[in-house]
A = this chain, B = another copy of it.
Amino acid sequence: MRLGTLKGQGGAVLTDDGAYLLPDGLTVGDLLAQGLERTLEHGSTAARGSPLPYGPESLELPYFPTSVRDFVTFESHVEGVRRSIEGSPGVPEAWYDAPTFYFTNPHALYGPGQPIPKPERCHALDYEMEVGAVVGPDLEIVGYTIVNDWSARDIQAREMQVGLGPAKGKDFATSIGPWVVTADELAPYLTDDGFLDLDCQAFVNGERLGHDRLSHMRWTFAEMVAYAVRDSVVKPGDLLASGTTGGGGCLAELWGRNGERTPPPLEIGDVVRLEVEGIGTLEAAIA
């Protein structure tokens, strides 16, 4: 089941026949926080109503996560990015210990198609192709969405020298969408090891720069949740993002491999499109 939010109308079940609004002003976030079973029940009931026509331009941010943890689970991303951002080769030994993450700004979220303002002082703007999992009340994964963790590489490189991780380099925008696909729909893509074997592609102005499979994560989403909750609190509605894929999941990885900023940083007018098998397409222009 696909759950999205229609501009000015609210949460809806999205089907090929149209959009079915959720009853009683229920938001997609309210629904997901109740867990997979209740989400599917409520969604099925809603889908007995009459469908509204909708298109990609009708959709806004699918839901407001209660917090956003961004992990770093693709080894080839770490390798490439470290070379271009931190100037050091290889993967730190500690990376293999556990699925490390940071919390990003929960207030600067952008929906599908929503233009991303380029930070004024940024001369090295980048995209990051990721998949995010929405957690339910029993810490099970209720659904998945596409995440673009926009990054100002020049600002990030400088501030990360302080040791606290990225702040202004990433707090200006995170795109999420176009909708949330419930976990049951992606079950056919699960490998025996619990990874989702989804094809992921990133395009800049129509040219494919990134291509990887989500199953190249080192840890499963379930392992990420288990790590996040250890000695701590994960709440229903929290979004846990995979971290950037390899294979050109961001420009900085390619810069690290190429030894120069080729392809060039994003500029105003550029359009970035992320396509993830089984989920959909998340696109935005730089404004």
Contacts and interface: CB of A to CB of B under 8 A. Distances in A.
Contact of A92 (B163, B232, B234): B163
A98 interface: yes
Contacts of A94: 158-159, 161-162
Given A105-B67, A107-B66, A108-B232, A165 B168 contact: no
Copies per complex of this chain: 2
Interface in A28-60: none
What bracket does the count of chain A residues touching chain B fall in? 35 or more
A117 interface: yes
Contacts of A106: 66-67, 103, 106
25 contacts: A66-B106, A67-B105, A67-B107, A78-B162, A92-B163, A94-B161, A94-B162, A95-B161, A97-B158, A98-B159, A101-B164, A101-B167, A102-B102, A102-B103, A102-B164, A102-B167, A103-B103, A103-B106, A107-B232, A119-B230, A160-B163, A164-B165, A165-B165, A168-B227, A168-B231
